Amino acid sequence: RRSVHEDIMGKISKKQTQGFLRKRSKTFKVPRRPFEKERLDAEMKLLGEFGLRNKKEIWRVQFVLSKTRSAARSLLTLDEKDPKRLFEGAALIRRLHRMGILEEGKTELDYVLGLNVKDLLERRLQTQVFKTGLAKSIHHARVLIKQGHIRVGRQTVNTPSFLVRQENQGHIDFSLKSPYGGGRPGRIRRKTLSSKQGGGDGGEEDEE
């Protein structure tokens, strides 16, 4: 006969096993040929141009693009008047328009097949912060976002890979709590100001 302690420990281990064995969805796909020179050169160029941290960020975007293009490709195999193609195709085009990935004038599924990695990387918050002139460089934009200085609308966003929607394009600015947005000065700035004030008071006392 099992004791109460053994029953409790058995239930805990079972829960831990269930959590460990839970299936996780893939977020990126590793290239089949890891040492292909042309691909390596192209990835390094993208890393520098868009200020990415590592190649996983490129692979993640490629994975999303691949799924989007495969969805469009499967819809193109259907008849033009097929209800599934009409409904899901319009929803896909509308979503890409809303994200700013596809231009408003392009309403055919064929345009989805022409998308590339740069089209998605252009919509990243890091790229948009740099292009709006809030940062001195693409790498400076990443630092500002990670340190919580950037907001989209009223919400502070600290994820550089955040995809900016078309409707939020003009609402990217410094956070109201950030020193750059009129908020409280940073720790180093406060320390400098206090030391200057202390030095000024000391000088006046010496003069008296």
pLDDT tens sequence across 49-100? 999 999 999 999 999 999 999 999 999 999 999 999 999 999 999 999 999 9
With vertex at residue 100, the alpha carbon angle to CA 141 and CA 66, rounded to the nearest 5 degrees, is 95
Q: Sorting pLDDT into bands at 50, 70 and 90, what band is 1? A: low
Whether the per-residue pLDDT at 18 is higher than 60: the answer is: no
The whole model's pTM is what? 0.78
Question: How far is CA 22 from each of CA 13, 18, 19, 129, rounded to the nearest angstrom?
Answer: 14, 6, 5, 37
Whether the per-residue pLDDT at 11 is higher than 90: the answer is: no
The DSSP symbol for 170 reads G
Whether the per-residue pLDDT at 204 is higher than 50: the answer is: no
Place of tokens 């064929």: 110
With vertex at residue 28, the alpha carbon angle to CA 26 and CA 29, rounded to the nearest 5 degrees, is 100
Structure tokens belonging to residue 187: 């720790």
Q: Work out whether the CA dihedral 38, 41, 44, 48 comes out positive or negative.
A: negative
Please check whether residue 59 is in contact with residue 34, taking contact to mean a CB–CB distance below 8 angstroms: no
